[in-house]
Structure 1
């Protein structure tokens, strides 16, 4: 039977995906899925030139602004998960292509990890463990009393909102900087909207939940770190380059801030033996915030649902650039921060 809807999976060979995923897709009437890990334009065009839908789940290697016009039948490009940095969002919109993701597949795990990093750093759990094992002679001098302090969120998407819910028992005052999130939505969750500088100067804990864009690259730099309280803790589970990492390391060495916890770094992974491993009051995890026992099942279930929705013409709820399609000039600023409502 001739396929009615063609999907090109350009990040993986068929055998590298879980068998239950490929079997589930094989069973969908009218659907053809082609699999190829594409690293060149020629490989991409070989399987996707006449595809209705392009599916990937990794860093963008081949979807350049120049190649998009050659994908004449493509209705949407879908990246499993949430991160869309490096994808040609505006250019796709100009060609009428939706750019989609499924952050719901990872938001719970990332929120839990952000909270774990905050509590670990505040209560000096990792530092105390290192001391007990004899890996350091520096016994932690104090632990933060978390209850009743001030949390600052940069970005108010799914993950940030879930962080607020998970920390509710600590009775924190919560501030948020997100220029495009709804103040009404924040107010409904007991969150106060504010400007970034004000947030940084007031917060005891700052947690980053924004996408990586030209606007947010090095959003937290030397000037911003200097605004923070001397005992403040910075948590990043978004993207490494949102922080100017050399400036952060200097701030930790100099005691400008009290500590930091990073699940993402710049570069990633960190350079072996690099300066990031020699600073005090820093907890590191290997970009593992999304990983959990249920991660794979949730990740691919959500991905399959997006494909089924695409077949049914229901892409609006997954699209991050639909506003650009309506009015590119008015929404260029909006779409980059719209991502933070989906991260």
Structure 2
């Protein structure tokens, strides 16, 4: 009897999709994301589903590996060049969590502009008369300017949503000729100087690492807000914290961080006007089901010898 291919999950997938994968494969879920754990378990894996950072040398320890699938979109967790050098196809799931991320961005923008959590807390602790005047400082999103850094699948969908609220949209992208309707191309200086809301949804690479530095933050309007759903290192965090503490920005929302998970001594935990979440912008019950469905379908297709269109290094098939 032929042994089933073995699939290593760095983290659990949606419970509704696990049985689907188990019908065709032996499935192993890593007990933790430590580099040594992943190196040990990948040694006899035929496929790998990724939801955590992989060590750069992982594929040196994976003689049987035939497929790597990102349970999501961002590829910075995977040493793609190393996989390509070994002829291992790597796939991701474009658009699989775009709705969740866009809704998070909108929620963060409203949180920072309207201060509903502060209103709720003040109403509960000090009463109606103390809470109601806080509304006088709230700002509407309509008729303001949204600057989107990274106008890919998420940025394009976000642009459509905020345009529906009456916002003007500026876009910073390496391919300005491909911007969606209604989005005005802007360079970095223009976008950060003009936008009332800046949303970072770009990939992390050499061009975007440290993109939002002290000089860039200094260009922003005093009442502007920043939302980062890209990756932590896109922003110079100490510079951002200084801008918030000094009141040079009205607020920021960080879903991604330089160190993940955040440690108890991280200075972001004690900064005012800062909404913090633990890298969950793309995670809802809905998106988890969709991403797990896409990951399972792609793994099974690759193990069958097929060539899915979402493989990011198709040169391995040549």
Structure 2 residue 29 is matched with structure 1 residue 57 = no
Structure 2 residue 159 is matched with structure 1 residue 160 = no
Structure 2 residue 173 is matched with structure 1 residue 174 = no
CA distance in 2, matches of 1:114, 1:170: 14
Q: Judging changes above 3 Å, is the alpha-carbon distance between structure 1 residues 317 and 194 closer, same or farther for their aligned structure 2 residues?
A: farther
- Consecutive unaligned residues of structure 1, counting only runs of 5 or more, are 327-343
* Structure 1 contact 123–144 (Cα < 8 Å) conserved: yes
CA distance in 2, matches of 1:148, 1:17: 41
- SS, match of residue 309 in structure 2: helix
Match of 1:213 among 205, 216, 223: 205
CA distance in 1, matches of 2:170, 2:6: 42
Which moves more between the two structures, 226-235 or 205-214?
A: 205-214
* Structure 1 contact 154–176 (Cα < 8 Å) conserved: yes
Q: Judging changes above 3 Å, is the alpha-carbon distance between structure 1 residues 21 and 227 closer, same or farther for their aligned structure 2 residues?
A: same
The answer for the alignment partner of 1:109 in structure 2 is 100
Deviation at 1:229, TM superposition (A): 1.1
Deviations 1:217-245 (A, max 9, x none): 22211111011111111011222222111
Deviations 1:138-177 (A, max 9, x none): 9746222311211111111221112112223222211111
Q: Which structure 2 residues correspond to residues 70-85 of structure 1 after superposition, within 5 A?
A: 71-85=62-76
Deviations 1:33-56 (A, max 9, x none): 3415271533321x22xx2x3323
* Structure 1 contact 127–281 (Cα < 8 Å) conserved: no
- SS, match of residue 121 in structure 1: helix
CA distance in 2, matches of 1:254, 1:311: 55
Q: Which structure 2 residues correspond to residues 254-293 of structure 1 after superposition, within 5 A?
A: 254-272=246-264, 274-293=266-285
CA distance in 2, matches of 1:143, 1:39: 49
Deviation at 1:274, TM superposition (A): 4.5
- SS, match of residue 25 in structure 2: strand
CA distance in 2, matches of 1:24, 1:316: 19
Q: Which structure 2 residues correspond to residues 20-31 of structure 1 after superposition, within 5 A?
A: 20-27=16-23, 31=24
- SS, match of residue 167 in structure 1: helix
Q: Judging changes above 3 Å, is the alpha-carbon distance between structure 1 residues 251 and 314 closer, same or farther for their aligned structure 2 residues?
A: farther
Q: Which structure 2 residues correspond to residues 1-343 of structure 1 after superposition, within 5 A?
A: 1-2=1-2, 6-12=5-11, 20-27=16-23, 31-37=24-30, 39-45=37-43, 47-48=44-45, 51=46, 53-60=47-54, 62=55, 64-65=56-57, 67-68=58-59, 71-134=62-125, 140=134, 142-179=137-174, 181=175, 183-184=177-178, 186=179, 188-272=180-264, 274-311=266-303, 313-322=305-314
Deviation at 1:263, TM superposition (A): 1.8
TM-score w.r.t. the length of structure 1 is: 0.79
* Structure 1 contact 205–232 (Cα < 8 Å) conserved: yes
CA distance in 2, matches of 1:182, 1:7: 43
Which moves more between the two structures, 298-307 or 150-159?
A: 298-307
CA distance in 1, matches of 2:304, 2:265: 51
CA distance in 2, matches of 1:257, 1:42: 46
Q: Judging changes above 3 Å, is the alpha-carbon distance between structure 1 residues 220 and 200 closer, same or farther for their aligned structure 2 residues?
A: same
TM-score w.r.t. the length of structure 2 is: 0.84
Q: Judging changes above 3 Å, is the alpha-carbon distance between structure 1 residues 32 and 269 closer, same or farther for their aligned structure 2 residues?
A: closer
* Structure 2 contact 176–185 (Cα < 8 Å) conserved: no
Q: Judging changes above 3 Å, is the alpha-carbon distance between structure 1 residues 174 and 7 closer, same or farther for their aligned structure 2 residues?
A: farther
Q: Judging changes above 3 Å, is the alpha-carbon distance between structure 1 residues 17 and 120 closer, same or farther for their aligned structure 2 residues?
A: closer
Deviation at 1:255, TM superposition (A): 2.0
CA distance in 1, matches of 2:227, 2:59: 36
* Structure 1 contact 203–229 (Cα < 8 Å) conserved: yes
CA distance in 2, matches of 1:252, 1:212: 23
Give the paired residue count: 308
- Consecutive unaligned residues of structure 2, counting only runs of 5 or more, are 31-35
